[in-house]
Amino acid sequence: MSQQQEENAPQQKKPTAKEMLQASVADASRVMENTETVTGTPRLIAEGGLLGVCIVFLATMLGLSKLDNPLTIALFSFSLAIPILSYSFLNGLYKPRPVPGHLILQAILTGAWIAGGFGQACAVIGIFFVILHLSNVASIAFVAAIIFVIALIPAFSFIGLLIYGMIQYRKEQREKQTTPEPENKGN
């Protein structure tokens, strides 16, 4: 386009701040209206359970006159975990449907999910330090169980997958041996 054509072309009206705000509110309303509420997911059950554990331990600590180092660390961990788990739990109740603007809500919900993992870790750390307060031997068993879950269960799962694969392979081999081959009629 030449400079003269650009000058003669009608200029588009730029939206005002009020119009942009109204459009944003309309988009947000449409996204929220098309949001599905979910319940009973493993995430919600885990976070709700850990919230309950944190609250019970805090209520129990109210009766103590003095906290030793492990209980102080547990109190700190539970104090971090409660607001984070609450936020993640509440955001975990929603699942956006794909409508224009849903990606912003999806990003917020994903951030809450990631934060929920941090809250879960804080709750587990708090539980560990309560166990440490009660017994050193029990705290060693707790750590050993965590190592078992993280390291050995995936290895056992892989072994189970290999066994399953071998069983399926042998089953297919037996089916091939028992199935008669079709005869060639071309000769």
Assess whether pLDDT exceeds 70 at residue 4: no
- For residue range 168-177, what is the model confidence (pLDDT) as tens digits? 999 999 888 8
Which residue matches tokens 């200029």? 11
pTM confidence score: 0.69
Q: What per-residue confidence (pLDDT) applies to 38? A: 87
At 96, which helix (H) or strand (E)?
strand 94-96
% of the chain exceeding 70 in pLDDT: 90
The conformational region for residue 101 under phi > 0 = left, psi -120 to 50 = alpha, else beta, is: left
Q: What per-residue confidence (pLDDT) applies to 46? A: 94
Helix, strand, or coil here: 116?
helix
Q: What per-residue confidence (pLDDT) applies to 3? A: 58
Q: What per-residue confidence (pLDDT) applies to 26? A: 76
Interatomic CA distance for residues 76 and 149, integer angstroms: 25
Q: What is the rounded end-to-end Cα distance, in angstroms, of the chain?
A: 75
- For residue range 35-93, what is the model confidence (pLDDT) as tens digits? 888 888 999 999 999 999 999 999 999 888 899 999 999 999 999 999 999 999 999 99
Domain ranges across the chain: 28-134, 137-175
Interatomic CA distance for residues 138 and 132, integer angstroms: 7
Interatomic CA distance for residues 153 and 144, integer angstroms: 13
Contact (CB, 8 A) for 45 and 93: no
